[in-house]
C-alpha cells in the first residue's frame, strides 16, 4: 500500500477526471489524500479518498470564494489580456500556497507519490522540495512542448517540416519571452518564496520525468515525433455511469427518433451563444433537440419561446442521455468531448474560449466532427453542419473508431497500472 497525494485545480472540469483515478487507487488499497476546493468535498470523499482543504492555497471552487474585486477586474478584460489574467490569478500565483499545503500534508504523513493537475506547477515544485516522484495528469489536450507543435492555446495544426520548426520556435520565443514574460517572473517569485532556484519557468514547459497521463487516446492527439516515453494515453477518465437520475416528464420522447444534444458546459454557458442559435437552426428539422444549459437557474428566459421539437433542462447525466443521442453540438469542453467520443457519437463544435480551440481543432482532425471555428455561429451554418454530419457516415465511423480505442486504453485502470509501475520502480 502506498501513501499518495492528489492535487487538482479547484474547478469541476479538472476535478472530474481525477475522481476515477482516486476511486481506482482506493480500490487497490492505497491511502489517498486529495487537496482540493471545498465545493468538491462530497465528491472526493465519495471515492474513498480523504479530503484535504486548502489552507494557504487560493480556493476558487465556489463563486462566493472569489473576491468581487477580482471578478470585476476579470470582467473588464478580453482576448490576450484576459488569458494572462486567468493564467496569473488561477494557475500561477496560487501555486506557492498550493505547494505549501502539499508540503504541510507531506510533513504530517510522508507521501510516496503526488498526482498533480498538469495546469499547476506546484506538483513539480513539491517534487523538488521532497525528492519524491510525481505524476502529471492532463485534464485537457497535452500541453507538452514539441518541435512539431505551436505553443498551446493558438489552435494551430502541427507541422513537422523545417518550416514548421521555424514557425514553432519563433512562436515559443514570442509567447514565453514577450506575451507571457510577466507570468514567468511571477512564477520565479513564487519559487523564490519557496527557497527554490530561479529559472523563469513557463507553465506549459513543465513535464514530469516520471509519468504523464493523458485522459484521451493517441489518435485524438496531434502526432508528436518527440513525445516523451513517460506519456501514457489512458483514454477518457469518466465518472461511473450509475449516477442517480430522475427522468423529466418528456423522457419517453427520446425513443425512436433522432436526438441531437446541444450543450455549452458549465463555464462558457451563455445560452444565447450556441444553444439559442441551435434551437432556431433545427426548429423545422426532423430531429428532437435536447439542450442542457449547465446552469442551476435553467437559463430558459434568455431562450424565449421554445420550438416544438426542443426539450431544455439544466443537466442530464451523460450515462443516461448519450446512449439515446445521434449527434452532439458543443462548444468543445474537453471532458464532455471525451465522454461523447467514448459513446462513438459525432459532433459539431463551436468554441473559442479557454482550451476549446485546441480541443475543437484536434477533434476535427480525427474526422469525427465539423468545427465551426466561432463561439457565435449563425443558425444557417449550424443547420448545414448538422445535416452533413447526420447524412455522411464517415463522421460516425471516425467517432466509433475512437470509442473502440478508448475502451482498449482501460481508462482509470490503465492509468493506475502506470502509477503503480512508477511506485514499483
pLDDT tens, 306-358?
Answer: 889 998 888 888 888 999 999 999 988 898 899 999 999 999 998 877 778 89
Query: Is residue 168 domain-shared with residue 210, that is, in the same domain?
Result: yes
The number of distinct structural domains making up the chain is: 2
C-alpha cell at position 288: 428532437
For residue 80, give the C-alpha cell: 490576450
Does a structural domain hold residue 203? yes
Residue among 211, 221, 217, 229 nearest 416 (CA): 211
Residues 340 and 315 in one domain: yes
Say what the pLDDT of residue 242 is: 65
The answer to whether position 242 is within a domain reads no
What residues contact residue 191 under an 8 Å CB cut-off, 6+ apart? 125, 197, 198, 199, 201
Within 138-193, where are the H helices? 162-174, 181-193
The whole-angstrom separation of Cα 252 and Cα 247 is 9
Helix (H, G, I), strand (E, B) or coil at 107: helix
pLDDT at position 305 is 80
Nearest to 216 by CA among 25, 417, 17: 17
CB 384 within 8 A of CB 364: no
Residue 337 lies in a domain: yes
Q: How many CB atoms lie within 10 A of CB 388?
A: 12
Cα–Cα dist 153/57, whole Å? 26
Residue stretches of the chain with pLDDT short of 70: 200, 240-243, 265-269, 295-304
Residues 285 and 165 in one domain: no
Confirm whether 245 is domain-assigned. Answer: no
Q: Are 383 and 211 in contact (CB under 8 A)?
A: no
Looking at the fold, whether 200 and 266 belong to one and the same domain comes out as no
The three-state secondary structure class of 261 is strand
233, β-bridge pairs: 214
pLDDT tens track for 35-46: 999 999 999 999
In angstroms, the CA 71 to CA 98 distance is: 21
**With contact defined as beta carbons under 8 Å apart, do 80 and 101 qualify?**
no
- Domain-located, residue 243: no
394 with 416, same domain: the answer is no
Are residue 196 and residue 257 in the same domain, yes or no? no
Say whether both 195 and 286 belong to one domain: no
Give the model's pLDDT for residue 69: 87
pLDDT of 220: 94
Q: Phi and psi for 370 in degrees, rounded to 5? A: -115, 125
CATH of the domain at 217: 3.40.50.2000
Q: Is residue 304 part of a domain?
A: yes
* 182 and 283 share one domain: no
Distances (CA, A) of 328 to 245, 263, 347, 383: 20, 8, 5, 13
The pLDDT, as a whole number, for residue 272 is 74
Same domain flag for 261 and 223: no
For 130, the domain range is 3-235+410-424
Same domain, 194 and 83: yes
C-alpha cell of residue 34: 486529495
- Based on the fold, state whether residues 221 and 330 are members of the same structural domain: no
Cα gap 297→271, rounded to integer Å = 12
Q: Are residues 309 and 278 in the same domain?
A: yes
Q: Is residue 85 domain-resident?
A: yes
In a domain, 241, yes or no: no
Amino acid at each position: 500500500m502506498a501513501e499518495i497525494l492528489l492535487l487538482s485545480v479547484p474547478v469541476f472540469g479538472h476535478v472530474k477526471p481525477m475522481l476515477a483515478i482516486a476511486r481506482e487507487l482506493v480500490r487497490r488499497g492505497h491511502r489517498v489524500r486529495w487537496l482540493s476546493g471545498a465545493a468538491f468535498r462530497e465528491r472526493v470523499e465519495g471515492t474513498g479518498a480523504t479530503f484535504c482543504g486548502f489552507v494557504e492555497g487560493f480556493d476558487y471552487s465556489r463563486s462566493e470564494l472569489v473576491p468581487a474585486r477580482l471578478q470585476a477586474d476579470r470582467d473588464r478584460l478580453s482576448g490576450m489580456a484576459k488569458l494572462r489574467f486567468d493564467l496569473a490569478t488561477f494557475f500561477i500565483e496560487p501555486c506557492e500556497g498550493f505547494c505549501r499545503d502539499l508540503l504541510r500534508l507531506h510533513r504530517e504523513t510522508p507521501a510516496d507519490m503526488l498526482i498533480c493537475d498538469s495546469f499547476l506547477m506546484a506538483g513539480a515544485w513539491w517534487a523538488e522540495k521532497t525528492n519524491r516522484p510525481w505524476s502529471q495528469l492532463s485534464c485537457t489536450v497535452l500541453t507538452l512542448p514539441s518541435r512539431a507543435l505551436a505553443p498551446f492555446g493558438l489552435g494551430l495544426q502541427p507541422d513537422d517540416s523545417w518550416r514548421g520548426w521555424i514557425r514553432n520556435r519563433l512562436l515559443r520565443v514570442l509567447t514565453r519571452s514577450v506575451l507571457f514574460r510577466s507570468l514567468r517572473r511571477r512564477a520565479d517569485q513564487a519559487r523564490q518564496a519557496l527557497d527554490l532556484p530561479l529559472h523563469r519557468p513557463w507553465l506549459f514547459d513543465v513535464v514530469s520525468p516520471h509519468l504523464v497521463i493523458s485522459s484521451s487516446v493517441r489518435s485524438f492527439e496531434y502526432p508528436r515525433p518527440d513525445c516523451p516515453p513517460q506519456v501514457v494515453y489512458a483514454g477518457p477518465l469518466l465518472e461511473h455511469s450509475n449516477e442517480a437520475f430522475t427522468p423529466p416528464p418528456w423522457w419517453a420522447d427520446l425513443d425512436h427518433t433522432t436526438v441531437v444534444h446541444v450543450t455549452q458546459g458549465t463555464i462558457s454557458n451563455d445560452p444565447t451563444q450556441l444553444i439559442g442559435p441551435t434551437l432556431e437552426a433545427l426548429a423545422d428539422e426532423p430531429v428532437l433537440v435536447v439542450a442542457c444549459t449547465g446552469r442551476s437557474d435553467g437559463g430558459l428566459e434568455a431562450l424565449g419561446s421554445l420550438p416544438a421539437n426542443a426539450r431544455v433542462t439544466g443537466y442530464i447525466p451523460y450515462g443516461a442521455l448519450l446512449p439515446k443521442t445521434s449527434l452532439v453540438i458543443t462548444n468543445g469542453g474537453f471532458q464532455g468531448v471525451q465522454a461523447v467520443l467514448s459513446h462513438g457519437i459525432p459532433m459539431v463544435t463551436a468554441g473559442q474560449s479557454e482550451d476549446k480551440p485546441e480541443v475543437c481543432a484536434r477533434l476535427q482532425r480525427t474526422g469525427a466532427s465539423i468545427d465551426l471555428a466561432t463561439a457565435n455561429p449563425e443558425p444557417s451554418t449550424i443547420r448545414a453542419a448538422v445535416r452533413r454530419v447526420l447524412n455522411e457516415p464517415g463522421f460516425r465511423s471516425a467517432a466509433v473508431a475512437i470509442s473502440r480505442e478508448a475502451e482498449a486504453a482501460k481508462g482509470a485502470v490503465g492509468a493506475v497500472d502506470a502509477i503503480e509501475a512508477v511506485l514499483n520502480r
